[in-house]
A and B are shown apart, each in its own frame.
Chain A
Amino acid sequence: MVNTIILEAKHINKSFHNHLTVRVLNDIAFTVNKGEFVSVIGKSGCGKSTLLYILSTMDTDYEGDVLIEQETMRGKKEKQLARVRNEKIGFVFQFHYLLNEFTVLENVMLPGLKLGVLKEDEVKIKAMDLLKEFDIHPLSDKYANQLSGGEKQRVAIARALINSPSIIMCDEPTGNLDKKNGLIVFDIFKRLAEENQQTLLVVTHDEEFAKNSHRIIEIEDGRIIKQ
């Protein structure tokens, strides 16, 4: 089980075309093993978020290839990619991105209901368990916009975990949080990787956060400079 490659980036190039063509990612190649806790660091604008969006299949406009569980994402249809995101990837955004129209519990449940493997009651139990784990279960009936930033981020993590994805990708998960909440989130990640054997790929510019993870990938001007 150890050293199974779960995510592989193969020579990824990406350019933005806006009057001038600007190359933001240059021949990015690396692999991530199951159960690893990887941090991607770099200065603002170095392309680390862009890379994360490509790896999470939310951006399809790039060159190269992404393999998730040894399966290529190239040439997959929009519907198939949606399925991959639903089933295999949990994504945590910098700005949490919860749906304000739904309660906390519903926000967590939605991806699980979409997957349709478990019945609604079972998804509900699982979502409540996750909320309990992150100590936010008393808030389950509140609407997303009634929560504090730290609480929102924990809900977003719970949502990312509802389908037990093989990879959890996070874009600056602690970027908007104070030290205390940042530490809570970090502890959750560490536990996921070490206890649940889940793979984590976290983009951050929080040096301390990165130092405590298993591996650091440093990006500068669209290239990997240190692995």
Chain B
Amino acid sequence: MNTKLILRIAKSLLLARWKQTLVAAIGVTFSITMFIALLSFMAGLNDLLDGLMLNRTAHIRLYNDIKPSIHQPVNISSEFKGSYNFIQSIKSSSSRNEIYNSGAIMQALKTDNRVKGVAPKITAQVFFNDGAIDITGIVSGIDAKAESRLFYFSDYVVAGNSLDIMNVSNSVILGKALADKLMANIGDAVHVTTIKQERFSLKVVGFFQSGIQELDKVQSYASISTTQKILGKPSNYITDIQIKLSDINLAPSIAKEYAQLFQTDAEDIQTANAQFETGSFVRTLISYAVGITLLIVAGFGIYNILNMMIYEKMDSIAILKATGFSGIDVIRIFIVIALSIGMFGGLLGLLFGFLMSFTIDQIPFVTASLPTIKTYPINYNPVFYIIGFTFSLATTYVAGWAPARKASKIDPVIIIRGK
């Protein structure tokens, strides 16, 4: 009975001066709209910058590094077991670069459910011959299908079809900047010389643009078999296995595990790109700082509007108390009022915030370094919406509760006499 009555009184107080109520609700809406739109936009930009790196980088890379052998003969010898052995001038051993048993390793990785996908890779150092000039370059042998699925390879192929390197024999996709240097068009043949002085002719089937000019000047892609041919290696020759995980944060621990298991070197993305980690962290920090600032500013705005609204209703509080409503009733009435405004304004804020970020999402954003991006990026993370709504309820609750509590504590006569 009491709850029903309180809801009814709150409703009447809200609707009696609906313009004032609307202004208060619009205040909340505006704050939440700005919060949602700005944070979605910032997060979108962050993801874009992260993606620039993360999309194309394996979470774990398995390979055989060139390094001195850990097990030096003198240490293994039983004769010198009890002594300290000082060895000077150790040289790196020229062991094979290829991964032993790569096929079996890839099979094993595919059954591991922490792994999202596996892509093999071979790298060949070559010279691109352009008349009298030799341009250093790299031909990466890839599995175009796996590479597209895991590392969005096809997104970066700006001309031609990424799958053509698998379908057309002895074909290559050149970096756009490299192609410009070689004056090569699609369908042309380019000549490469391997470091072992063997010459090959490759057919250009496409161009790709990574967004990093330095990379585009040297990089080119061919199929695994073409690259094996260039290097003069058998068809089981694989130098790198790139692994993408379901959870990037597990990369360091899984990398250690695989290094043990497969007896290769394993490098995780966090170790390989420490500077990227820092950059990403700083950007995240900035967006949190902006988000919190927005919330604080919005919070004060909401608090002010509601506070004023309640002080204007002081008379009503005094009358209600004089006719037998207790302080608790008064607090409840105003909390219902505040929460209704918070809920209504907050939900509208979420809607407008979504519409605003959707609008930003439609604005064209074309840049040479980001061939896949056509419009400004937006991150529609539901967490922002949850935070925004919770926040609008929480601030309106506090903003309603604090002055109502103050009003409920004093004798009604104080308010009446103050007139």
Question: Is B321 a contact of A82 with CB atoms below 8 Å?
Answer: yes
Question: Is A101 a contact of B12 with CB atoms below 8 Å?
Answer: yes
Bound complex: CA A211 to CA B36 (Å) = 70
Question: Is B411 a contact of A60 with CB atoms below 8 Å?
Answer: yes
B327 at the interface (CB under 8 A from A): yes
Residues of B within 8 A of A79 (CB): 326-328
User: Can you spell out 8 A-B residue pairs with CB atoms less than 8 angstroms apart?
Assistant: A59-B413, A82-B325, A85-B324, A91-B322, A97-B315, A97-B318, A101-B316, A113-B1
Contact with B along A85-119 (1 / 0, CB 8 A): 11100010101011111100010001101111000
Residues of B within 8 A of A126 (CB): none
Residues of B within 8 A of A87 (CB): 324
Q: A59-B413, A93-B416 are in contact. List 18 more A-B contacts (CB 8 A).
A: A78-B327, A79-B327, A83-B326, A86-B324, A86-B325, A95-B419, A97-B322, A98-B319, A99-B316, A99-B319, A99-B320, A101-B12, A101-B13, A101-B17, A110-B320, A114-B323, A114-B329, A163-B324
Bound complex: CA A98 to CA B315 (Å) = 10
Q: How far is the CB of A43 from chain B (nearest CB, A)?
A: 18
Question: Is A111 a contact of B323 with CB atoms below 8 Å?
Answer: yes
Residues of B within 8 A of A60 (CB): 411
Q: How far is the CB of A158 from chain B (nearest CB, A)?
A: 12
Known: A101-B316, A113-B5, A114-B5. A159 touches B326 (CB 8 A): no
Q: How far is the CB of A201 from chain B (nearest CB, A)?
A: 15
Known: A53-B413, A101-B316. A91 touches B13 (CB 8 A): no
Contact with B along A58-96 (1 / 0, CB 8 A): 111100000000000000001100110111000101010
Residues of B within 8 A of A113 (CB): 1, 5
Residues of A within 8 A of B321 (CB): 58, 82, 85
Give the residue among B9, B17, B323, B412 with the most A Cβ atoms within 10 A.
B323
Range, interface on chain B = 20 to 34
Closest to B16 in A: A101
Question: Is A106 a contact of B12 with CB atoms below 8 Å?
Answer: yes
Q: How far is the CB of B416 from chain A (nearest CB, A)?
A: 7
Residues of A within 8 A of B5 (CB): 110, 113-114
Closest to B408 in A: A78
Residues of A within 8 A of B2 (CB): 114, 116
Residues of B within 8 A of A116 (CB): 1-2
Question: Is B324 a contact of A111 with CB atoms below 8 Å?
Answer: yes
Q: How far is the CB of A169 from chain B (nearest CB, A)?
A: 10
Q: How far is the CB of A106 from chain B (nearest CB, A)?
A: 7
Bound complex: CA A159 to CA B324 (Å) = 11
Out of A61, A95, A159, which one reaches B323, CB within 8 Å? A159
Closest to B409 in A: A78
Closest to B14 in A: A101
Bound complex: CA A115 to CA B323 (Å) = 10
Bound complex: CA A21 to CA B230 (Å) = 105
Residues of B within 8 A of A61 (CB): 411
Residues of A within 8 A of B419 (CB): 95
Bound complex: CA A98 to CA B320 (Å) = 9
Closest to B328 in A: A79
Out of A53, A83, A106, which one reaches B324, CB within 8 Å? A83
The 9 closest A-B pairs by CB, nearest first: A86-B324, A101-B16, A82-B326, A58-B413, A59-B413, A53-B413, A79-B326, A111-B323, A85-B324
Bound complex: CA A79 to CA B412 (Å) = 13
Q: How far is the CB of A114 from chain B (nearest CB, A)?
A: 5
Residues of A within 8 A of B411 (CB): 58-61
Bound complex: CA A78 to CA B9 (Å) = 21
